[in-house]
Amino acid sequence: MIRQLFILSSKGDPLLFKDFRGEAGDDVVNVFYQKVTALPGDQPPVVMVTSPPAFRDLHFLHVRQGGLYWVATTTADASPFTIIEFLNRLAALVKDYCGGLSEKSVQMNFALIYELLDEVLDYGYIQTTSSDMLRNFLQSEAVSSRPFSLFDLSNVGLFGADTQQSKVAPSSAAARPIQAGREQVSEIFVDVVERMSVVVGSNGVLMKADVEGEIRIKCFMPSCSEQWASCSAGSAGYGAAVRVDGCSFHQGVRLDEFDSHRILRLCPSQGEALYRFLLQTVMQYQLTDDLPTAPPFRLFPTIERDGTGRLILFLKLRCDLPPKRSVLLLNILSQELSSPDQSAELQSQNRAVAWQIPRLAGGTQLSALFKLDVPGLSSASMLEVGPVGLSFELPKFTATGLQIRFLRLSPVQPAPSQRWVRYVTHSDSYSIRI
Amino acid sequence: MPYLGGEETVRELKRALSNPNVQSEPLRYRNTVLRVVRAMSQGVNVSGLFSEMVKACATVDVVQKKLVYMFLCSYASLNPELSLLVINTLRKDCQDPNPMVRSLALRNMSNLRLPSLVEYVEQPLTAGLRDRAACVRRVAVLGWAKLYNLQPGSDIDAAVVNELYSLLRDPDPVVMVNCLRALDEILKEEGGVVINKPITHHLLNRMKECDVWGQCEVLRVLQRYRPQSDDELFDILSLLDASLVSSHPPVMAATLSLFLSLCADLPAVSLAAVERVSGPLLAACGSGSREMRFTALCHIQLLMRSVPGLMGPHFKRFFCGYAEPAYIKQRKMQIMVELVNDENVSMLLDELKGYCTDVNTDTAQAAITAIGRIGRSYSDRCLEILTGLLGLKQDHITSAVVQTMRDLVWVCPQSSDTVCSALEGCEETLQDSQGRQALLWLLGVYGEGVSSAPYTLEVFIDGVKSEVSSGVKMELLTATVRLFLTRPAETQDMLGRLLHYCIEEETDMCVRDLALLYYHLLKCGIEETRNVLQGRRSDPSLGVLIGRPADPISQWACSFNTLEPLKKGATETLTASRGSPEHEAPKPKTVVELSETLDCSHVHSDPPGSLSADQHSDSTADLPTTPLTLSLSPTISPEEFERLWLQCHSLLSEQDAEESNDFLQTEERIRCSAVLQRSPQILQAAMQLVNIQTLAFTPPCTLPWRVFFYTHTAGTPASSLILGELLYAGEADLQPAAQKDDEEAERKVDEDAAAGELKGREDGQVEVKVTLKQQPKDEKAVRAFLSVLSTVLHTLSSEKA
């Protein structure tokens, strides 16, 4: 049971506050913010208040999403799994309805969010969070907070030429508000999103590799009743069959043909034949320890001390992906470095050097040389260097090799004018020891 | 939040709302209302607009209606009279053909929270329960709960309750779940909604229609149900098996809670269920939301209290990602420490070593502490890493390493040599008082092993005037006096200076008192001082990390899936109960230690109280009986123990108490105090020192208090197995015991006073009944064993009683 729910900006301004049971004092928000800011470092998601008699036994639970605090107050015996999952789900709903998650978008759409909260929670009890049920009840129009920016134009090729970017589905489509005038175009997006968490030892041996992935379907269309998606048995390009350790499915997925043909059949819930959009994580899966392909990046570091007490760090980064793949954003973090060489920056409070590479083509390698003046350098200080953490996004690549073979909509429906199948792999944690 | 220009805004909004031109244009009207609500949510007091807003409520625009209702619900309590005007509109809306409008009106009517309006709300709510549209029924059901909470203590309308019970069969799953919630609130004083067999089966059958949240609610309510037969229980369990491994963590957690409460009497089934959820829990640990990760990690720690090996094969999943926040890293490290075994120790240490140089000092310190805890089992490897870290000369790392070494030496005295050699020269990098206190403690206790100890102390003593921390000063006093005992020639002069300063010039009373105490103690003579200060250097019994007994599931089952495991203190007390008491609480450390060491002199003057730290034979050596060697191998599993115990029992009854050749049963009483209050870990550790393996315990301070244990006697003439039980059943047990004592008087080993008279329990003295079963029979060995056992119990009770 949720007693109150509020959304705070990172500076502690209340953006939204709702008291479901009429039990709260006015300063609950302030009490929470004081508690949270008083905690050192990164705060665990549970904060508790007991002392002032006015708040008998307030238990705050919060998540951080989009730079905002999403806070629920509850009782001691509430299930943390339920409340945290709910807060995350609520943030996702707000994001879907408002087209983004920021202080601004929440402020501009506060009426819509209040409306949403009204339907999602009654008297502190969760009623429903399914977007197809909710959309019948929501009347307010979303206000897009996205200001006009020249940056959006950069995706359009010069003189109408197709760029690499435009072949990928426009990323803004997924971030568009659900309701804003999607009547005329019908689109379906199937996203395969994977997160890699990898540890590579100092000798280049892969010590740990986990992949968590999910298949998401977003569908904007006048009506759709049933659709099939299929994940491949994986003969294309990778040789071995796709191995996945554990998968779980959305409850609306029928698995009659999954074991034999790996076909997921998705049915609309509760016989509602007509609904305009659908947002579902259809399947979640994970793979531990055994990647079908080599890890996408290898790093060859050399560290030396020169005569003048400087630390010389030479990093060579090789991308082992097949050519034509490109990496969008890459961060390399390593400790105690200085003097920029490529496009790098010294973050002195983190004692780290961030090496940014806007794009790295598969099969190529880049190198960087950092010279560092470290006060009081000793041989022991060498121990302190590293590990190197990489953060990246690999479009059109899945670490497990999973691919969607086909996407079919039930024959009675008109085919959507646009279909997008997108693959992307993010780094959850990719660290290389030095 | 005060909002500048608030009054101006309110006036302007008021003008706009009452402007007929605005009212005639729906879009403009709606926008004005929107501005009011926006001002409200920004903290402006717009309660003055109440009457205008009441008028704005009569509109066909649903969005405007919603906004106005939101406003009205916030300010209704300030304007109860005006709110009466709204009721009419709301009641009219309840008749609207659009179900959405009906549910909206009904919800807001019950949200006004005005006791004076209850009579107007009841009728629409009753009608709402029978509405065609599910969304209206959902609202109406919860509306009744709101109504009852508005008038606490009012009579419960049986008709409504019956209606709500019958709505449990509503075709809409949300209505059904809301009925459970509403009944729970309405019948709070009678213990909530009644869950009988038909309702249970109905709920179970309909669970798959519910969404995640509904399922959780149903599972929570079902915890109240007690199945009537085992068959029914297992039917329910197998129905729920799929949701136990659900990919939705809330459902998984709620199902496990239900399993644990249903199977409270079936530990084996509970254990199997716990093992089943390890998969989904691990998946939640890799969830994209770090809050969810944290929650899952905390619950894994909880489960591991009962199944320590639960995550053993998956230890790599607990390696920290570099971008993870510190609180997740720390929990992961706590779990990694628990998972250490011979195969993975080098890999885990390697991983932890990497975290020691983390930029975040909390993470670095947690990693160093974790290595220290692993050091209790694998001291050589860990000390190597810790010594290497000292070379970094970073103050926070050095401080954490020295503290960790102190804790390690307390538990594993054998590592003191390595620690002593590592300590040289690290005082220069130590900045914080915690680290310096740890260094001083080590120098005091192991000063004879560190050649530079007097010089280090001298530096501290020279700087004592500028020292701010009283903790450091007190530790310095103790350390100097201790070092004086081992190396008097080098220390005498500086001790004199220190005592002089502390007694004459120090303003802190604690420090001054301690200095005075030492001064008088030294005047009493060097032997007295030695007795007081050189009592205990270590406590190996606290080092039980591997082979620690698993807690029964019932100990934590009630806190599973609540906020309890996530709280900050939850794990701290957990580690404290396993860690050294002297060190886990750093603040009052010196004080505790002092009283402890003073106490030790007491113990030492007590003849049977010497439980030597590292020699098993010591405790047996000073016994009058023939030497007896006990051993733990071959080990006996609890199941085997139970079988043997019962077998002996049946043999005994067959032969009618007549002792056969190969079998002996005997009962004894041992007087001891405070053993009952001992934690099982300490008792187990103490028993293990003399090679007695304990198998099962009741929790401390419960009656009857029982401990089961076994051991093997080796040698004369042949080895035999002893099974035993310690039992204290409370006062009532003493009466029959007194009679038995007469019959068994010849077997008295330990009693110097007649047990029959000893009902006096002054200073917590109690009689513990010992039942021993031996196979094959060897009376001599049993007598020797009994005296060992009584020595152990006496030591435990005299120590820190």
Q: What is the secondary structure of B268-298 as a DSSP string?
A: HHHHHHHHHHHHHHHHHHT-S-HHHHHHHHH
Percent of chain A with pLDDT over 70: 59
B362 touches chain A (CB under 8 A): yes
Return the closest-CA partner of residue B614 out of B421, B796, B381, B411. Answer: B411
Question: What residue in B sits closest to A48 (Cα-Cα)?
Answer: B567
Which of B70, B246, B562 is closest, CB to CB, to A114? B70
A110 touches chain B (CB under 8 A): yes
Q: Are the C-beta atoms of B379 and B417 separated by less than 8 Å?
A: no
Return the closest-CA partner of residue B613 out of B798, B795, B377. Answer: B795
- The side-by-side arrangement of strands in the sheet containing A365-373 is A297-305, A310-319, A365-373
Cα(B502)–Cα(B477) distance, integer angstroms? 9
- When pLDDT is cut at 50, 70 and 90, the band that residue B191 belongs to is confident
Residue B5, in any domain of the structure: no
* pLDDT at A350 > cutoff 80: no
User: Lowest-confidence range among A383-387, B66-70, B766-770?
Assistant: A383-387
- When pLDDT is cut at 50, 70 and 90, the band that residue A138 belongs to is confident
Question: What pLDDT is stored for residue A333 in this prediction?
Answer: 45
Do A286 and A305 lie in a common domain? no
Which of A40, A78, A378 is closest, CB to CB, to B563? A78
Do B252 and B385 lie in a common domain? no
User: Lowest-confidence range among A217-221, A399-403, B105-109?
Assistant: A217-221
pLDDT tens column, A226-238: 555 544 332 222 3
Do A76 and A217 lie in a common domain? no
Residue A165, in any domain of the structure: no
Do B429 and B560 lie in a common domain? no
Question: What residue in B sits closest to A91 (Cα-Cα)?
Answer: B289
Q: In this predicted model, which residue has the larger pLDDT, A292 or A65?
A: A65
Q: Which amino acid is at B182?
A: A
Question: What pLDDT is stored for residue B575 in this prediction?
Answer: 37
- Rounded to an integer, the average pLDDT of B721-742 is 58
Residue B532, in any domain of the structure: yes
B217 touches chain A (CB under 8 A): yes
DSSP β-bridge partners for residue A206: A200
Give me the DSSP letters along B498-560. HHHHHHHT---HHHHHHHHHHHHHHHH-HHHHHHHHTS-S--GGGG--TTPPPPPTHHHHTTT
User: Which domain does B458 fall in, by range?
Assistant: 367-537
A400 touches chain B (CB under 8 A): no
Q: Are the C-beta atoms of A36 and A44 separated by less than 8 Å?
A: no
- Rounded to an integer, the average pLDDT of B471-499 is 90
Secondary structure (3-state) at B216: helix
Q: In this predicted model, which residue has the larger pLDDT, A184 or B63?
A: B63
| Residues B43, A14: C-beta atoms closer than 8 Å | yes
Do A100 and A29 lie in a common domain? yes
| Rg of chain B in Å (alpha carbons) | 35
| Residues B393, A380: C-beta atoms closer than 8 Å | yes
Residue A147 preceded by cis peptide, ω within 30: no
Q: What 3 state SS string does B59-103 have?
A: CCCHHHHHHHHHHHHHHHHHCHHHHHHHHHHHHHHCCCCCHHHHH
How many structural domains comprise chain B?
3
Q: In this predicted model, which residue has the larger pLDDT, B611 or B513?
A: B513
ipTM of the shown complex: 0.74
* pLDDT at A135 > cutoff 60: yes
Mutation target to probe the A interface, by most A beta carbons within 10 A, among B563, B564, B571, B572 is B563
**Backbone phi and psi for residue A101, each to the nearest 5 degrees, phi listed first:** -125, 100
Do B278 and B412 lie in a common domain? no
Q: Smallest CA–CA separation between B149 and chain A, in Å? A: 9
Q: What is the largest CA-CA distance in chain A?
A: 77
> Would strands A330-335 and A388-395 be described as parallel, antiparallel, or unpaired?
antiparallel
| Residues A81, B100: C-beta atoms closer than 8 Å | no
Q: Smallest CA–CA separation between A412 and chain B, in Å? A: 27
pLDDT tens column, B669-703: 776 665 666 666 667 766 766 677 777 776 666 66
Torsion of CA B534, B538, B541, B544, to 10 degrees: 170
Do A314 and A366 lie in a common domain? yes
Question: What pLDDT is stored for residue B144 in this prediction?
Answer: 92
Spatial CB neighbours of B287, under 8 Å, sequence gap ≥ 6 = B249, B293, B296
- Length of chain B counted residue by residue: 801
- When pLDDT is cut at 50, 70 and 90, the band that residue B717 belongs to is low
- When pLDDT is cut at 50, 70 and 90, the band that residue B166 belongs to is very high
Residue B275, in any domain of the structure: yes
**Gap between the terminal Cα atoms of chain A:** 48
Which of A45, A428, A431 is closest, CB to CB, to B294? A45
Cα(A431)–Cα(A208) distance, integer angstroms? 10
* pLDDT at B315 > cutoff 70: yes
In angstroms, the Cα distances linking B333 to A275, B364, B372, B551 are 47, 11, 12, 21
Which of A17, A62, A383 is closest, CB to CB, to B392? A383
A104 touches chain B (CB under 8 A): no
* pLDDT at A93 > cutoff 70: yes
Cα(B502)–Cα(A81) distance, integer angstroms? 55
Q: In whole numbers, what is the pLDDT of chain B averaged over residues?
A: 78
* pLDDT at A368 > cutoff 50: yes
Nearest 5 degrees, angle CA A416-CA A422-CA A425?
160
- Rounded to an integer, the average pLDDT of A56-73 is 86
Do B434 and B480 lie in a common domain? yes
Residue B26, in any domain of the structure: no
Q: Smallest CA–CA separation between B413 and chain A, in Å? A: 28
**Gap between the terminal Cα atoms of chain B:** 57
User: Which domain does A89 fall in, by range?
Assistant: 2-135
* pLDDT at B51 > cutoff 50: yes
Do B440 and B469 lie in a common domain? yes
Q: What is the largest CA-CA distance in chain B?
A: 112
| Chain CA centroid to CA A96, Å | 13
- When pLDDT is cut at 50, 70 and 90, the band that residue B102 belongs to is very high
Cα(B90)–Cα(B74) distance, integer angstroms? 16
CATH number at residue A416: 2.60.40.1170
Question: What pLDDT is stored for residue B747 in this prediction?
Answer: 43
H/E element holding A69? strand A68-74
A322 DSSP assignment: P
* pLDDT at B276 > cutoff 60: yes
Residue B474, in any domain of the structure: yes
Do A289 and A318 lie in a common domain? no
pLDDT tens column, A387-418: 778 888 888 888 887 777 777 766 555 555 67
Residue B701, in any domain of the structure: yes
Residue A14 preceded by cis peptide, ω within 30: no
| Residues B321, A351: C-beta atoms closer than 8 Å | no
pLDDT tens column, B135-156: 999 999 999 999 888 887 777 7
B210 touches chain A (CB under 8 A): no
- When pLDDT is cut at 50, 70 and 90, the band that residue B800 belongs to is very low
Do B638 and B773 lie in a common domain? yes
CATH number at residue B718: 3.30.310.10
Do B312 and B409 lie in a common domain? no
- When pLDDT is cut at 50, 70 and 90, the band that residue B367 belongs to is very high
Question: What residue in B sits closest to A133 (Cα-Cα)?
Answer: B135
- When pLDDT is cut at 50, 70 and 90, the band that residue A207 belongs to is confident
| Rg of chain A in Å (alpha carbons) | 25
The two three-digit tokens of residue A317, written as one number:
């980064």
Give me the DSSP letters along B120-150. HHHHHHHHHHT-SSHHHHHHHHHHHHHHHHH
- Rounded to an integer, the average pLDDT of B77-98 is 85
Spatial CB neighbours of B137, under 8 Å, sequence gap ≥ 6 = B128, B129, B130, B131, B167, B170, B172, B175
Do B447 and B523 lie in a common domain? yes
Q: Are the C-beta atoms of B445 and B536 separated by less than 8 Å?
A: no
Neighbours of A189 (CB within 10 A): 18
Which of A42, A125, A130 is closest, CB to CB, to B181? A125
Give me the DSSP letters along B675-728. TTTS-HHHHHHHHHHTT-EEEEEPPTT-SSEEEEEEEEEESSSS-EEEEEEEEE
Residue A53 preceded by cis peptide, ω within 30: no
Do A409 and A289 lie in a common domain? yes
Question: What pLDDT is stored for residue A85 in this prediction?
Answer: 92
H/E element holding A214? strand A206-220
Do B289 and B378 lie in a common domain? no
How many structural domains comprise chain A?
3
Cα(B132)–Cα(B137) distance, integer angstroms? 8
